[in-house]
Amino acid sequence: MSIIQLQDVYFTYNRASDSEVRAVNGVTLSINEGEFVAIVGHNGSGKSTLAKLMNGLITPDKGKVTVAGLDTANEKNLFDIRRNVGVVFQNPDNQMVATIIEDDVAFGPENIGMPSDQIRERVYESLKSVGMYDYREGTPHRLSGGQKQRVAIAGVLALRPRVMVLDESTSMLDPRGRADVMKVVNDLNKKEKMAVVMITHFMEEAVTADRIIVMNEGRIYMQGGKEIFKRQAELESIGLTVPLASRVANRLREKGVVIDEDVTTYEELVNKICPLE
Amino acid sequence: MPVRIENLNFEYNPKTPFAKRALFDVTLDINDGDFFGVIGHTGSGKSTLISHLNALTRVQSGTLFVNGMDLSPKKIDFKKLRSTVGMVFQYPEYQLFAETVEEDVAFGPKNIGLSADEISQRVREAITMVGLDYQSIRSRSPFDLSGGQMRRVALAGIIAMRPDILVLDEPTAGLDPRGKQEILTLIKKIKQTCSIVIMISHNMDEVSACCNRIAVFSEGKVHGVYEPRELFAQKELLEKLNIDMPGVTNIASMLADRGFNVDRSIISEDELVDAIVGECQRRGLCAK
């Protein structure tokens, strides 16, 4: 069953001015319950605009966006829409609103008028699921970028949304911070069945998704499972790369090495070349 | 010997309850011609070290010489130092401020009192060097540009100072794959006009592809200085320091662990592909 639906959506920034930029150009798309969708594309391809459309931060110029059947263009729906769709943004430093970590996570639940004992329960639960419970009484500004992003995710979780949208949320993190955040996101999807929309330009993050949507010039250029990484030349022509293992596999195939299946991870590649006895 | 660091120590908030030691007896020589990589985890002291190089952080103990200038004394020639060392911080586009690209790039040269002719020549040169079209971009607001373009304008502002030593902190962070590639190509081009480039990076693919020497930091100390192949072939050391291998080295190492005959010190994709094809042919695993 789908939670988010975009029907032939158009969006232009700074409409009717000199700096008009058409960002989304006729996109039809639905995100299903429990699904892990990756959206990839180079800068300016419209992928972050999709994130903003998905929780009503912006509304389409043309077409329609619905969340759990509610139209984002109707302001009365926004409260319910944002309880269903939580967004984690790119810059960890811009998302902290309180001086104590547990207060920061409590911000969302407080805003929707949740009773205070329930808030406490939700905040603790959320901090535990991102592995930041032990830090709850500390201050966010002493955390690393990866830890801050996990706190931001906890803030989203505290509202128990059905979909979590991550808008390049790992792009400012070091490899360790990125791996920690990805693990939390994968667990939430697999164990809690939360739908995830992961907007990224790290192809290695996209390979774990159920479905990969490639954006170019505001349109869906290609979508599918990891078999899309066989189309290396096409992806490179729109400024993207394919995961290293896929690239090496593609080059080996060209040179006559027999590698038949889709390969996207190092383990898969190594298993194809040198199977365990 | 342009950058010579001996027994450099540094502590943040000394003599307060928040005192935190960031550097412990750091000794490093960075030579003319080096493309010098600095790697290590967040909090390992990399940024503290490089902020010493143009005296944003002052020497507390130990010695530091940059192109023969002693940076230990309280009074130093800042003007000379900052035209020698160009510092590109993380997300340098956040530091753009002027109304036009041209003014932004001209800010540094103006500050060191160059003549108007000299300034305009340097600005034109720097903007062209970073791959932007001077005529069409000079009067535009830097804030209307794309992320990759903004970063290039910020770099142009540093290049216009004609630094002899260029220091870059995570120059490709946050860019998309094409943007990353463009910035790396640009940095290699700039390298030809400077004596030394020093680059902090968390991306081992980039470090192994660009740098001839790499200093590994861990908990405020220099663990060692290595050539890329020498460093990345040492699986146990990397695991101990929790440093990733470049992707291609990782694949080579996994294959070697299974007894497949490839060199563990492979650091480029071409080498990896050739080595695998070679071994597959020997084993008769190829179609052709």
Three-state helix/strand/coil letters over chain A? CEEEEEEEEEEEECCCCCCCEEEEEEEEEEEECCCEEEEECCCCCCHHHHHHHHCCCCCCCEEEEEECCEECCCHHHHHHHHHHEEEECCCHHHCCCCCCHHHHHHHHHHHCCCCHHHHHHHHHHHHHHCCCHHHCCCCHHHCCHHHHHHHHHHHHHCCCCCEEEEECCCCCCCHHHHHHHHHHHHHHHHHHCCEEEEECCCHHHHCCCCEEEEEECCEEEEEECHHHHHCHHHHHHCCCCCCHHHHHHHHHHHCCECCCCCCCCHHHHHHHHCCCC
Token pair listed for A174? 């070091």
CA-nearest residue to A42 within chain B is: B176
Token pair listed for A9? 């959506």
Contact B251 A245 (CB under 8 A): yes
Q: What is the C-alpha R_g of chain A?
A: 20
CA-nearest residue to B252 within chain A is: A270
Which positions in chain B touch A256 (Cβ < 8 Å)? Answer: 277, 286-288
Contact B43 A245 (CB under 8 A): no
Q: How far is B144 from chain A (nearest CA, A)?
A: 8
Q: How far is A149 from chain B (nearest CA, A)?
A: 15
Of B174, B177, B179, nearest to A172 by CB-CB distance is: B174
pTM of the model: 0.87
**From first to last of its 288 residues, what are the pLDDT tens digits of chain B?**
699 999 999 999 999 988 889 999 999 999 999 999 999 988 889 999 999 999 999 999 999 999 999 999 999 999 899 889 999 998 899 899 999 999 999 999 999 889 999 999 999 999 999 999 999 999 999 998 888 889 999 999 999 999 999 999 999 988 888 888 999 999 999 999 999 999 999 999 999 999 999 999 999 999 999 999 999 999 999 999 889 999 999 999 999 999 999 999 999 999 999 999 999 888 877 765
Q: Provide the CATH topology of domain A33-56+78-225.
A: Rossmann fold (3.40.50)
Of A174, A201, A269, nearest to B42 by CB-CB distance is: A174
CA-nearest residue to A41 within chain B is: B176
ipTM of the assembly?
A: 0.84
Contact A257 B259 (CB under 8 A): no
